[in-house]
Copies of this chain bind each other. A is one copy, B any other.
Amino acid sequence: MPETNYAVGIDLGGTSIKAGIADKKGKIIEKLSLPTNAGQGPEAVVNQIKKAIHRLLKKNNKKIAGIGIGSPGIVKLKKGTVENPPNFPGWSKVPLGTILTKEFNLNVFVENDANAAAIGELAYGSGKNLDNFLMVTLGTGVGGSIIINKKIYRGESGAAGEIGHVSIDHNGPKCNCGSYGCIEAYAGNNYLIQNVSRDLNNHIDSLLYHFVNVDNKTLTPKLIHQAALENDAYSKSIIIELGKNIGFALTSIINLLDITNVIIGGGVAGFGELLFDSIERGIKERVLIPLKDRIDVKPAKLKNEAGIKGASALVFYSN
């Protein structure tokens, strides 16, 4: 049945819903974006998701194998229930899977967005030839997923994979989760920008300081990257330090799990080689000796449309 080799992929974000139809090889043949309207509560969000899918299906003449959704929060697989996604006010538990199955009479696969990203890399990206890997997504938060034998490892309740909440210092900075020193409290975008903002006045001769003050630009990861590319020592040191910290967290995880391949995606992964080298070097300096030679840290292959591709891949490749 070659005509069922297509799936809908929905990337549910805090500000926008990215939706597309992709084939079994991850090629997107149709896509659109709608505002999430998260501030209007769960019903409004569900309506936007439905609207996005209806619009896609209207234009479409392929037979659709199912709908895949990558969502923030904890996802309970049975009913595709999404629990407490951060930045979705008023949302406690919504059985998104059940709702959409009824609406569209199609198989619906709801998955945590970090797991969806990992399935995308497994199916079409840097994880294609790997049986086991750790996936880290650097964004507002630090998402994580553990792939064992080409399947998502879910844990007892579907909450496994929280790489972002592995702590590297029990006396470290307070994390939003309530704990201390979680790698998210160093590498999450907001934390990173906060930390650098606080430190920037100690580096008034840096290019980054200059960048931020010219035209009163606010500090962003992009600016740090730009300054580093122009060889600003301070900006480079920020990226190297970030990599080291991520490496510390990964060292603990690799020692624990004996999984030595790491794929890193998300915006800050755009820091490029400087970041990746620093992460890999950090791990190799500290990881248990028998594991050292197998360590491999690489960037995610799926970039802009990773969310849609990962979500549509759930229909074909998730366990």
Contacts and interface: CB of A to CB of B under 8 A. Distances in A.
Interface of A: 74, 83-84, 131-132, 144, 146, 153-163, 165-171, 177-181, 245, 248, 251-253, 255-260, 286-291, 294
A279 B256 CA distance: 19
A153 to B, nearest CB: 8
Given A177-B288, A256-B161, A170 B170 contact: no
Given A156-B132, A169-B171, A256 B163 contact: yes
B255 A290 contact: no
A83 B291 CA distance: 13
A259 to B, nearest CB: 6
B286 A160 contact: no
Given A255-B162, A256-B166, A157 B291 contact: yes
Contacts of A154: 258
B258 A157 contact: yes
A256 B165 CA distance: 7
Contacts of A180: 286
Contacts of A163: 256
A181 to B, nearest CB: 8
A252 B252 CA distance: 9
Nearest to A247: B170
Quick one: which of A146, A155, A256 has the most chain B CB within 10 A? A256
